[in-house]
Amino acid sequence: MAYRWKNDLTWDDVTPEAQFINRRQIMAGAGGLLGAGLIGGAARAQDDPRLALEPNSWEEITTYNNYYEFGTGKSDPANNAHTLTTSPWAIEVDGLVDNPGTYSLEDILSEVEIEERIYRLRCVEQWSMVIPWNGFELADLLNRVGVQDGARYVAFETAMRPEEMPGLRVPVLDWPYKEGLRLDEAMHPLTIMATGIYGRDIPNQNGAPIRLVVPWKYGYKSIKSIVRISLVEDQPTTSWSEYSDREYGFYSNVNPNVDHPRWSQADERRIGGGLFANRLPTLMFNGYEDDVASLYEGMDLEVYH
């Protein structure tokens, strides 16, 4: 049975597909200013002409993205991600599990329930959007491999294929890209493994063929093109925390009360809101506070940011 959460989002709130794919071009047009977006449901283009954006051409829409394994330029992923081989695809599952092994994506998908989840996505750079994902709960996969008692965290790795990913030649981060969750976060029903967007397969530049989506955390926690999942006892290293733990903490929960060292996190604008749209307050845990706040009861969220 699909998880029922307090969802106030509908298809009326979904970021238009063209604007979702083209978000980096919109950001570039803002002259490098951080962020664009409105919180889901707070404002819509049909209610305010300032929020309307003229759709871009297909070439423009698919030119801008951010996936450093394919280059740091905003047009690099669209130009280079076609080199990524996404079929066949397999995920290695290891560590503290009863059934370690390498599982084909085809086999995984044959045993899980794919459903649509319309979620907010909040970037650490202050922009946000609303996206209809297609995927399955990560807990379904973890339950199938059998999590052992000693496991406290789940670690993830992105594919690292220098012959297919030209951006790996530049040491922007310590490759491969790594992320991690506490086990209770990973098992939470809101945490999904996404294989589709808008009812279609995820484009290569957006994390094909399978990626993590954790809607109450900043977007970089939702690691793309996953090839390894490890159940471990100790808190795993994550790429952006390794780069700067002062700026990018392990938890990375959306929190309007804890600023990034270089900018405020108190407000945001949604892609599609226009460059001059009023900024709106960011929601605690990106609007999922009722569902996930209990995970952090008693924790100082300024320390464990």
- CA-wise closest residue to 61 among 200, 212, 168, 203: 203
3-class state of residue 127 by DSSP: strand
Which residues participate in the annotated binding site for Mo-molybdopterin? 65, 68-69, 123, 158, 206, 211, 222-224
Tokens read off for 82: 């076609």
**Is the separation of the CB atoms in 210 and 226 below 8 Å?**
yes
Which residues participate in the annotated binding site? 65, 68-69, 123, 158, 206, 211, 222-224
What is the C-alpha to C-alpha distance for residues 241 and 155, in angstroms, rounded to an integer?
A: 13
Tokens read off for 121: 């996505």
109 — phi, psi (to 5°)? -70, -20
With 0-12 CB in 10 A as exposed, 13-18 as middle and 19+ as buried, what is 60? Answer: middle
**Is the separation of the CB atoms in 130 and 141 below 8 Å?**
no
How many contiguous H segments (helices) and E segments (strands) does the chain have?
Answer: 9, 12
155-193 exposure pattern, b = at least 16 Cβ within 10 A, e = fewer = bbbbbeeeebbbbbeeeebebbbbbbbbbebbbbebbbb
With 0-12 CB in 10 A as exposed, 13-18 as middle and 19+ as buried, what is 91? Answer: buried
